[in-house]
């Protein structure tokens, strides 16, 4: 089973509270989950890099209503992670999902036998959601370590993913954790089994993951 890692918007604009908020402020304290997730992504990528291809997709513009602007070089910079400029793949995107604008890359990965994507990054309800949608629709299996994604606001990482319940049921999407995903990627391609689900179809069908959970 051949798999690669795809990181979405792991940049300072998405994940570094020090860029916009004064330390100690309410907004700064409420955004620490973003920095913590970026650090976990950095540690995860460092561990699995020898075992799998790494790709990064970045948006260079804030598209929120009233906030539209092109990101500065500081905002576009990677946060916490240390990409390998010689080995990693770098993609630009102007929409939530990088798939349409970078379809040639995904087609090549599929042609090379890669059928599984380990998806990490920001923000869960927007870019991660629509990237998952595109990957599943085009025949990829998606593994999502829930501790390696974050919403813009502090909430449960599974908030908003109820639409994927059927994909979870059929194992087209697996919500797991970083430890299990790491073990999966460090196992030889011929010996790999899908990681255990941290959140099953039954969990998603019976539990509430919205605000306050």
| Banded model confidence at residue 32, pLDDT cuts 50, 70, 90 | very high
CA dist 95 and 75 (Å) reads: 17
Looking at per-residue pLDDT, the higher value among 143 and 211 belongs to 143
CA dist 73 and 21 (Å) reads: 18
Q: pLDDT tens-digit profile of 73-99?
A: 999 999 999 999 999 999 999 999 999
| Record: fold of 2-206 | Rossmann fold (3.40.50)
Query: Quick check: 207 pLDDT over 80?
Result: no
Query: Quick check: 213 pLDDT over 70?
Result: no
- Taking a C-beta distance cutoff of 8 angstroms, is the pair 158, 204 a contact? yes
Q: pLDDT tens-digit profile of 124-172?
A: 999 999 999 999 999 999 999 999 999 999 999 999 999 999 999 999 9
- From the list 107, 105, 70, the residue with the least C-alpha distance to 89 is 105
Q: What is the mean pLDDT of the chain?
A: 95
Beta pairing partners, 2: 114
- Residue 211 pLDDT: 66
| Banded model confidence at residue 102, pLDDT cuts 50, 70, 90 | very high
Spell out the domain ranges in the chain: 2-206
| Banded model confidence at residue 20, pLDDT cuts 50, 70, 90 | very high
Torsion of CA 147, 138, 64, 34, to 10 degrees: 10
202 token code pair: 């039954």
Count of positions (residues) in the chain: 213
Q: What is the DSSP letter of 11?
A: B
Query: Quick check: 198 pLDDT over 80?
Result: yes
CA dist 36 and 179 (Å) reads: 16
CA dist 39 and 150 (Å) reads: 12
Whole-structure pTM value: 0.95
Q: Which residues contact 116 (CB under 8 A, 6 or more apart)?
A: 1, 2, 3, 4, 140, 141, 142, 143
């Amino acid at each position: 089973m051949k798999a690669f890692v795809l990181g979405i918007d792991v940049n300072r604009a998405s994940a570094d509270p020090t860029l916009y908020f004064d330390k100690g402020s309410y907004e700064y304290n409420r955004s620490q989950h973003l920095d913590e997730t970026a650090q976990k992504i950095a540690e995860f990528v460092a561990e699995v890099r020898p075992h799998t291809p790494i790709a990064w997709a970045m948006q260079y513009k804030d598209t929120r209503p009233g906030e539209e602007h092109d990101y500065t070089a500081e905002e576009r910079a990677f946060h916490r992670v240390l990409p390998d400029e010689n080995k990693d793949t770098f993609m630009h995107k102007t929409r939530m999902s990088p798939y349409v604008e970078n379809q040639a890359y995904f087609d090549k990965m599929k042609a090379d036998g890669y059928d599984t994507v380990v998806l990490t990054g920001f923000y869960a309800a927007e870019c991660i959601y629509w990237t998952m949608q595109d990957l599943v629709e085009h025949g990829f299996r998606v593994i999502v370590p829930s501790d390696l994604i974050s919403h813009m606001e502090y909430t449960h990482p599974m908030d908003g993913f109820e639409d994927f319940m059927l994909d979870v049921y059929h194992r087209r999407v697996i919500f797991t954790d970083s430890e299990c995903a790491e073990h999966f990627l460090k196992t030889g391609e011929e010996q790999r089994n899908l990681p255990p689900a941290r959140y099953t179809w039954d969990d998603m069908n019976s539990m509430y993951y919205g605000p306050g959970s």
